[in-house]
Amino acid sequence: MTAPGGPAELRELFKSFANRISFSQHNVFNPRITVNGNEAHGTWYFLGPFTFRKDKRQVWIAARYEDDYLKVNGTWKFKHLHAFNRMLAPILPHEEGSEVRSKVAVFTN
């Protein structure tokens, strides 16, 4: 995923998340950030439980973030945010469709 260009687009993206997801716990860890002057690159890992509104399905989602940052007037800003899905699995393993999947569309509209 590449982050939208401005504040209005970001608001729409997060509204779409709220329309599809009733609960999530966003746990981001293991940052690796490389700084080169006023630019930086970061790799982060994400794992969290989600409940989707449509069918009340509860799943674990794992992803990797690859982010680019830019220092503007002394403040670090996101330049690009990329999310790469790694795993989707049911929270309760006995649920129907309990296979672990590597593709999930939670980060797209």
Has residue 35 got a pLDDT over 80?
Answer: yes
Q: What are the chain's domains?
A: 7-90 (3.10.450.50)
Task: Classify 74 as helix, strand or coil.
Answer: coil
Q: Is the pTM of this model over 0.85?
A: no
For residue range 56-97, what is the model confidence (pLDDT) as tens digits? 999 999 999 999 999 999 999 999 989 999 999 998 765 555
Where b means 16+ CB within 10 Å and e means fewer, 51-78 reads eeeeeeeebebbbebebebeeeeeeeee
Measured CA to CA, the distance from residue 11 to residue 14 in angstroms comes to 5
Residues comprising the chain, all counted: 109
